[in-house]
């Protein structure tokens, strides 16, 4: 298993924001999600990662087939809304894992954004390729950040199933 995708030698060059570069980004997402969750085919249900000084991170496997899985990944921001006891799920990202191809694609993230920079990013992404690029760059950086903060998922982080 490759541990550091930044050291991967490549024999080809791709143009930034091209389809080929996007597939390379999906591969990098797979590597980073493996850093966070280990063997992705073994995860089931919901998992919560708790790290001192950071928001709780929630990973929920919502769909599984022999070759793919769909997971939701989000921060749980408790008490972040003024005068509210509600928990905000953000960025609430839906991710598709292609186990056989070793790719991870961000399918969707929060329907709307309160942050001006994220609003601008979404409004400027007109083409489908640009939208996919923006979502997956966000996922790539976020996964790396979560790992650096110390988040991890394993069988020990699984939440009890609701009855």
Per-residue pLDDT of the chain (163 residues; tens, 9 = 90+): 555 666 665 545 556 677 888 899 999 999 999 999 988 888 889 999 999 998 899 999 999 999 999 999 999 887 554 555 577 776 789 999 999 999 999 987 765 556 676 666 656 655 777 888 888 999 999 999 999 999 999 888 898 875 4
Which tokens sit at 98? Answer: 């292609």
Handedness of CA 51, 152, 161, 58 (dihedral sign): positive
Query: Cα–Cα distance between 43 and 153 in angstroms, integer?
Result: 9
Single pTM value for the model: 0.77
DSSP for residue 159 = P
Query: Cα–Cα distance between 58 and 77 in angstroms, integer?
Result: 11
Query: Cα–Cα distance between 114 and 110 in angstroms, integer?
Result: 10
């Amino acid at each position: 298993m490759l541990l550091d995708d930044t050291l991967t030698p490549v024999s080809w060059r791709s143009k930034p924001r091209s389809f080929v570069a996007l597939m390379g980004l999906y591969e990098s997402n797979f590597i980073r999600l493996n850093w966070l969750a280990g063997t992705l085919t073994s995860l089931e249900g919901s998992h919560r990662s708790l790290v001192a000084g950071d928001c709780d991170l929630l990973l929920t496997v919502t769909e599984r087939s022999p070759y793919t899985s769909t997971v939701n990944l989000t921060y749980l921001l408790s008490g972040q809304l003024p005068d509210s006891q509600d928990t905000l799920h953000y960025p609430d990202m839906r991710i598709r894992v292609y186990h056989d191809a070793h790719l991870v694609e961000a399918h969707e993230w929060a329907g709307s954004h309160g942050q001006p920079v994220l609003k601008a990013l979404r409004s400027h992404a007109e083409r489908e390729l640009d939208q996919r690029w923006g979502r997956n760059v966000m996922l790539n950086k976020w996964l790396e950040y979560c790992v650096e903060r110390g988040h991890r998922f394993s069988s020990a982080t699984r939440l009890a199933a609701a009855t």
